[in-house]
Structure 1
Amino acid sequence: MLILLAIVGGLILLIVGGEVLVRGAVGVAERAGVAPLIVGIVILGFGTSMPELVTSLEATLAGAPGIAWGNVVGSNIANTLLILGAAALVAPFTVTGRAVTRDAGVALGATALLVGLATFGWVNIATGVLLLMLLVTYIVMAYFHEKSHADDHGAAYDRSAAFEGADPRIHEVFNGWGKPILFTVLGLAGVIMGGRFLVMGSIDLARIAGLSEAVIGLTIVAIGTSLPELVTSVMAALRKEGEIAFGNVVGSNIYNILGIGGVTAIAANGGVPASFVTLDLPLLLGIAVGLMVLLWVSRHLGRITGGLMLLAYFGYIAWLLLGHG
C-alpha cells in the first residue's frame, strides 16, 4: 500500500507541480518581456517536458537506468499509439500542414539516431551532448520557421498551442514578480519530489512484483508521465484542432528523444540496457516509420486507425506484463 501511495502521490505531484511550474515560468518570462513566440516554443516546450525529464534523471541518480530509459522509450510509444490513437478515436482528423509532416520526419530521424547509437553501444556523455545540441538546433529552426511562416505551424508551436488550449489560465497576468517566482519555485519542488517518490516506489514495486525495472519504466512510469499529453491532445481533437493534437504528439516525441534522452545519456554514461536494444527501441523505430507511411498514404486518422493503434498499444503492454519484455 505504501508503495502504491508513493507511485500515485508521485504522479500527482509531477502533474500538478509541472502545471504550476509552467504557469510560473511563463509568468516570469512574460513579466520580463520575452517574445510570445519564445515563451511558447522554449518555455512551454521545456516546461511541459519537466515531469519526464525529472523522472528519468531521478531514476538515473538512483541507479535504475531501466526506469530512466523505459520512461524515454515508453513515453514515445505511448505518445504515438495510445495518445494519438485515443485522439483519433474520439474525434477523427486530417493532417494537412507541411510543417507537421516535416516534424514527423524529424522525430523519425531522431528515433533512428538513438536506435543506431544504442545498437552500437555509443550512448555516453558525448552522444548525450550531441542529442541536446540537435534539440537546440531544432528549436532554433522552429523559431525562425514560425517567424516566417505564420500560416504553417510546426510541431513545436502546436505543442504549446495544445497546452494553452487545455489551460486557458496558462497566460495569467501577474501584477508583480513575487507570485510567478513563487509558482516557479513551488512547481519545481513539486516536480522534483514527485519524480523521487515515483522512482522510489517504482523500484520497490519492481522488486516485489517480480518485474524488471525496464518493464515498470515502459508501463507505469511512461504512461503516468504522458498523462498531460493525453489530456491536451484529446482536448485539441475534440476542439476540431487535429493538427495541434498531432503536432503535440510529434513535438513531445522530439523533445523526449533529443532532450530527455540526451540528459539521461549524460547522467547515466553507461549505455542503454540490452533489453531495450533487442525489442523496445526497434519497436519504437517501427512505429515511427509506420506513422510516416500513414502520412504518405493518407493524411486522415479515423476511428478505425485510432482503434487499431490502441489495440496495438494494449497488446504491447500485455506482452510486457506477461514477462516477455
Structure 2
Amino acid sequence: MLDILLVAVGLIGLLIGGEFLVRGSVAVARAAGLSPMVIGLTLVGFGTSAPELVTSLQAAAIGSPGIAVGNVVGSNIGNILLILGIAASMGVIVVDRGAFARDGLVLAIASLAALAVVLSGAMSRPAGAVLFALLLSYLAFTLISERRRPQAMDVYEAEADLPAPMATFPAILTTIAGLAGTILAAKALVTGSVGLAQLAGLSETLIGLTIVAIGTSMPELVTSVIAMRKGEGDVAFGNVVGSNIFNILGILGITALISPLAVPPEIARFDIWVMLAATSALIVAAVSGWRITRGEGAVLLLGYLVYLGVLIAGA
C-alpha cells in the first residue's frame, strides 16, 4: 500500500509541481522582458518536460535504468499514440507545413539518434553531449527562423499560455516551489515504482514504460486537451512534437551527461522500434493532407492499446 501511495502522490505532485514551475518561470521571463515566442519555445518546452527529466535523473541516480530510459521511450510513444490520438479524436488538427518541415525533420533525426544510442547498449557521456548539443542547435535555429515568420508568434504565445502578471518575488518563489515539488514528487514516484515492480514481480522497465511514462506526460496531455478545446489544434500538435524532441535530445542527453547508464535490452529489442513506428505514423499522418483527422486519431489510440496489450502479455 505504501508503494501505491508513493506512486499516486508522485504522479499528482509532478502535475502540480510542473504547473507551478511553468507558471513561475513564465512570470519571471515576462518580468525580464522575454517575448512570448521565446517563452513558448524554451521555458514552456523545458517546463512541461521537467517531470520526465527529474524522474529520469532520480532513477539513474539509484541505478534503475529501466525507469530512466523507459520513461523517455514510453513518454514518446504515449505522446504520439495516446495524447495526439486523444487530441485528434476531439477535432481535426491542421498542420503548419513550414514549421513541420523543420520540426518533423528534427524529430526524425532525434529518433534515429535515440535508436543508435539504444542499440549501442549504453547511455554514455559522449552520447549525452551529442544529444544535448543537437538540442541547443535546434533551439538556436528555431528562434532565428521563427523571428522571420511573424505569423508564428500567435502559436508560440498560445503555447506559452501567458498567465496574469505576477510580481517578480512571488514569481521566483512559485518557480522554486514548483522545482522543489517536482523533485520530491519524482523521488516518490521512482521509489514507489521500484517497490511496486519488486512486489508484483514486474520489471522496472515495464513500470517505466507505462505508469511512469504516462504519469510524467500528464502536463502534455492537459496542455493538448486544453488547446483542442480552445480550437488551437496547431498548439496541441506542436506540443507533442516539441515534447518528443525535448525528451530525446534534452532528457536523455542530460541524464547521460550526469549519470551514464546501461540501456535495458528489452527496450532495444522492442520498445525503441515501437517509438520509431509511432514517429513514422505521426509524420505520415501529418504530411498526408497536412492535417490529422479523427479517424487517424482513432488509429493512433488503437495502436496504443495494442502496444499496452503486448507489454502486459509479455510481463
Instruction: Please report the TM-score for the alignment, with normalisation by the length of structure 2.
Output: 0.94
Give the fraction of aligned pairs with identical amino acids, expressed as a percent: 45
Give the whole-Å Cα distance in 2 for the aligned partners of 1:292 and 1:267.
32
Q: How far off is 1:123 after superposition?
A: 3.0
Q: Matches of residues 233-244 of structure 1 in structure 2 within 5 Å?
A: 233-244=224-235
Q: Report the AA paired with residue 186 of structure 1.
A: A
Q: How far off is 1:49 after superposition?
A: 1.3
Give the whole-Å Cα distance in 1 for the aligned partners of 2:298 and 2:83.
11
Match of 1:183 among 162, 167, 174: 174
Unpaired segments ≥5 residues, structure 2: none
Q: Matches of residues 265-284 of structure 1 in structure 2 within 5 Å?
A: 265-284=256-275
Q: How far off is 1:237 after superposition?
A: 2.0
The equivalent residue for 2:296 is 305
1:96 to 1:186, Cα distance in 2 relative to 1, 3 A: closer
Q: How far off is 1:244 after superposition?
A: 1.4
Q: How far off is 1:253 after superposition?
A: 0.5
Q: Matches of residues 1-325 of structure 1 in structure 2 within 5 Å?
A: 1-121=1-121, 123-152=123-152, 158=155, 161-162=158-159, 164=161, 170-175=162-167, 177-323=168-314
Q: How far off is 1:193 after superposition?
A: 0.3
8 Å Cα contact 1:159-1:251 kept in structure 2: no
Partner deviation per Cα, 1:103-146 (whole Å, 9 max, x = no partner)? 12211110011101221346300110111111011111111111
Give the whole-Å Cα distance in 1 for the aligned partners of 2:36 and 2:300.
35
Q: How far off is 1:318 after superposition?
A: 1.9
Give the whole-Å Cα distance in 1 for the aligned partners of 2:109 and 2:207.
27
The equivalent residue for 1:167 is none
Unpaired segments ≥5 residues, structure 1: 165-169
8 Å Cα contact 2:20-2:177 kept in structure 1: yes
Q: Report the AA paired with residue 46 of structure 1.
A: F
1:73 to 1:27, Cα distance in 2 relative to 1, 3 A: same
1:258 to 1:320, Cα distance in 2 relative to 1, 3 A: same
1:212 to 1:285, Cα distance in 2 relative to 1, 3 A: same
Q: Report the AA paired with residue 5 of structure 1.
A: L
How many residues end up aligned between the 2 structures?
Answer: 315
Partner deviation per Cα, 1:238-290 (whole Å, 9 max, x = no partner)? 32222211111000000000000102222332332111111011111122122
Q: Report the AA paired with residue 263 of structure 1.
A: I
Partner deviation per Cα, 1:140-172 (whole Å, 9 max, x = no partner)? 11111111112247xxx85763351xxxxx433
Instruction: Please report the TM-score for the alignment, with normalisation by the length of structure 1.
Output: 0.92
- Which deviates more from structure 2 when the two are superposed, residues 45-54 or residues 26-35? 26-35
1:207 to 1:317, Cα distance in 2 relative to 1, 3 A: same
CA RMSD after TM alignment: 1.8
1:174 to 1:290, Cα distance in 2 relative to 1, 3 A: closer
Q: Report the AA paired with residue 317 of structure 1.
A: L
1:45 to 1:274, Cα distance in 2 relative to 1, 3 A: same
Specify the SS of the correspondent of 2:33. coil
Partner deviation per Cα, 1:29-51 (whole Å, 9 max, x = no partner)? 22223343322222222122111
